[in-house]
Structure 1
């Protein structure tokens, strides 16, 4: 049951990420910040896609994805169409990868110690879901403030 719940929530939030990025009417605003905010929505989008492709696609699905985390924050002016394409590809990858898992795999140790200690795959998937939600909220606020 937890596995299907995670698939549902991740799919919902990736669809929301798509609509938030698509909701920027001024494409240049994807690369702007305000106040003490340091990461623009475009970079947060790249970061979320890179994060999920690394920790779900490559680690659980053996996709071969190679992450360039510094580029997620240094790249600028990526066209909105490219960001939307990455979000959609990430959404499909997450759904396909997680649907291939057995519910019992959630109790197994995640194949990498990302947070500095061993954890179950289920725990780490919950962490990834919260991480997505956290940055999704930041993108929402940036869109509303900048537009």
Structure 2
């Protein structure tokens, strides 16, 4: 599946389509592939006390996305407890974290699918920051990107293998394999 799907010629629709595709078809599958290859002890491994484990990052991504998309845009009650995302230490196994991420992604994708383009310019306040709905969506996408990279890196450290997300052909073209 391409992370660059054919999108609408209308910029607002294209933005929403691409945002959904990046989250649903690239970042979440990569994180799930990492969780699938790790033992539970590796999911909660921290390189040092100042760093987060993969488990913390998955909880953090779910909490952040629910707060910024589900609560601030879709209008559901904000139940996030941010500090709990970082204080967790082994409470959930990899399979439970994977299910949480999948459920969160389904909810986010549905909220974005139902978001009318005209609402992208509306203003929201999240964590004390005032922004447009477009900026909130953009934040969630770039936030997922950064933490997906961290999760991928930690996974490679723990399993000491390449994850095989890309296959390069002799002509320089690349095939995704997640």
For the criterion TM > 0.5, the same-fold answer is: yes
Question: Which protein is richer in helix relative to its size?
Answer: 1
- Which position in structure 2 is the counterpart of 1:108? 122
TM-score, scaled relative to structure 1: 0.89
Which structure has the greater CA radius of gyration?
Answer: 2
Aligned residues: 144
Which residues in structure 2 correspond to 1:1-147 (within 5 Å)? 1-12=14-25, 13-24=27-38, 26-34=39-47, 38-77=51-90, 78-109=92-123, 111-114=124-127, 116=129, 118-147=130-159
Question: Which protein is richer in strand relative to its size?
Answer: 2
- Give the distance between the partners of 1:68 and 1:114, measured in 2 at CA: 12
Deviation at 1:36, TM superposition (A): 7.5
Deviation at 1:133, TM superposition (A): 0.6
- Give the distance between the partners of 2:76 and 2:131, measured in 1 at CA: 22
- Judge conservation of contact 1:50–1:67 (CA < 8 Å) in 2: yes
SS of structure 2 residue aligned to 1:119: strand
- Give the distance between the partners of 2:67 and 2:126, measured in 1 at CA: 13
- Judge conservation of contact 1:3–1:106 (CA < 8 Å) in 2: no
Cα displacement string for residues 6-37 of structure 1 (whole angstroms, at most 9, x for unaligned residues): 1111112122222222221x210011122576
- Give the distance between the partners of 1:132 and 1:68, measured in 2 at CA: 18
Deviates more, 1:73-82 or 1:12-21: 12-21
Give the superposed CA RMSD: 1.7
- Give the distance between the partners of 2:50 and 2:154, measured in 1 at CA: 9
- Give the distance between the partners of 1:71 and 1:128, measured in 2 at CA: 19
Q: Which runs of 5 or more residues in structure 1 are unaligned?
A: none
TM-score, scaled relative to structure 2: 0.75
Q: Which runs of 5 or more residues in structure 2 are unaligned?
A: 1-13, 160-178
- Give the distance between the partners of 2:89 and 2:37, measured in 1 at CA: 18
